[in-house]
A and B are shown apart, each in its own frame.
Chain A
């Protein structure tokens, strides 16, 4: 089974400052990793995903994440945040190449609320 820990429940930051949202995972098998964003009372939107290849993954809205297998981490970063980035962010993991009933199942972290102040 996989598990995900998001190390910060809330991250306040000023506009135009850089931000890092931390995510660690635990798994005995290879994994796929995802970051999602959720605005109030809405569903989740995929920001980026790591399936294979380059460990630095670029996503939408200027976000990027780096897969670090040795540290089992997948931290999300943005060099300069905007007020509109205020939202809750979820890290998620699934088994790589999973088939059968395991296909598509994601395990989510508890979420990190990013608040961008003017």
Chain B
């Protein structure tokens, strides 16, 4: 079945360390997105990519980086510059015809 796979489901990081969250899709979608979810704040856009080797900053890109070397993959790196990284991170992709997001199951990152 087609879908989006995020890994790992839970991730613990020490302060000062970079960590990379994986997002892989086999839906043949061109556009992919990373959102951060905090309680009571909804989802906020971090980065998005509409084609391979191109991506744009979202509303809260500071302290994060991404790459898009393959259509299927859009990894997110949370760097040590991100001051408050503990959150639930969601990856999504969009079908041009259905115009609705397909979401992954998320990665919960905790800084210890």
Contacts and interface: CB of A to CB of B under 8 A. Distances in A.
Interface of A: 4, 9, 32, 34, 36, 41-46, 49, 51, 90, 101, 103-106, 108-111
A41 B108 contact: yes
Interface of B: 4, 6, 9, 31, 33, 35, 40-45, 48, 50, 56, 88, 90, 92, 94, 99-101, 103-106, 108
Given A49-B100, A101-B56, A104-B31, A43 B105 contact: yes
Q: Do most interface residues of chain B lie in helix, strand or loop, or is the interface mixed?
A: strand
Contacts of A51: 99
Contact of A108 (B42, B94, B104): B42
A110 B42 contact: yes
A90 B42 contact: yes
Contacts of A103: 31, 50, 94
